[in-house]
Structure 1
Amino acid sequence: MVDTAVLYALQGIMGPFYARALSFLAAVLATWLINRNLAFRGRASALSRKSEFLSYLVLMLAGGLVNYGVYSALVLWQPVVRQHLVLGVAAGSLAGMSVNFLTARYLLFRK
């Protein structure tokens, strides 16, 4: 939801590709907060919050590249996605979600 909200707020100003890059960063911040406080609450990372977020961001880039690649391909090649960017966000998010979960689970919040 954060991803799509930021994308739609910025796409008129920045276009669908630059706006998507910023919406992805906003989504990373939101998911880190959710993962830190809910999903992995009992698993400490042994890092300061700043270091933990930066590590999380770096780890999420792998899934983010998959996510952005799928989104971009669909926006470029599918007119319906160009008209409804949320479809590209959903497809990209699904594609990158498993990569992101696995890196968070096994590399950052492993204790």
Structure 2
Amino acid sequence: MIQRLISLLIPEKYHTKFKQFIQFGLVGLSGLALDTCTVYLLRHIIGLTTATLVAYFIAATSNWLINRLWTFHGLGKNKHFVNQWFTFLITNILGFCLNRGTVLILFHFSQTCVAHPIIALIIGAATGMFANFNISRKLVYK
């Protein structure tokens, strides 16, 4: 069904990239769930800001692995998995800054986001997603 929809709406030369983007987004949702759970679990123990930073690292590692196995399956296998993971973390610094910068700004200016961090986490994830996808596709899983 999705493949047929892609065929109807997207020019053929972009099918692979669009499919990867959809998969990348689904992986991102799983990362957002892990990110959110980690923040809620740790925020009262280590503070909201530190919990947010730790959670990003955990979610990014999970996203890298799932993207390696599913979204970009077979691509980037010429790199040792540890090197690829490290490359993923380093090259996604722009996405990290967009994501966590947005989250921290929202925490600073919105008591609603402090009380309900998931709001800021969703907005932050959306902010960094496009940068992370393009950087990952071009530099990590090539």
What range is the shorter-chain TM-score in? over 0.9
- SS where residue 41 of structure 1 aligns? coil
Structure 1 residue aligned with 2:70: 38
Distance 1:8 1:36 in 2: 27
Residues of 1 paired with 2:132 and 2:46: CA distance? 26
Report deviation, 1:41: 0.1
Q: Distance in 1 between matches of 2:115 and 2:35?
A: 17
Q: Which residue of 2 aligns with 1:79?
A: 111
Match of 1:96 in 2: 128
In structure 2, runs of 5+ residues without a counterpart are 1-32
| Residue-pair matches, total | 110
The letter of the residue matching 1:74 is L
Cα separation, 1, equivalents of 2:98 and 2:69: 25
Point out the structure with max Rg over C-alpha: 2
TM-score relative to the length of structure 1: 0.95
TM-score (structure 2 length as normaliser)? 0.75
Return the alpha-carbon distance in structure 2 between the equivalents of residues 91 and 63 of structure 1.
12
Alpha-carbon distance in 2 for matches of 1:99, 1:19: 23
- The Cα shift of 1:45 comes to 4.2
Instruction: Please tell me whether residue 53 in structure 1 is matched to residue 81 in structure 2.
Output: no
Deviation at 1:15, TM superposition (A): 1.2
Q: Percent identity?
A: 25
Distance 1:104 1:95 in 2: 15
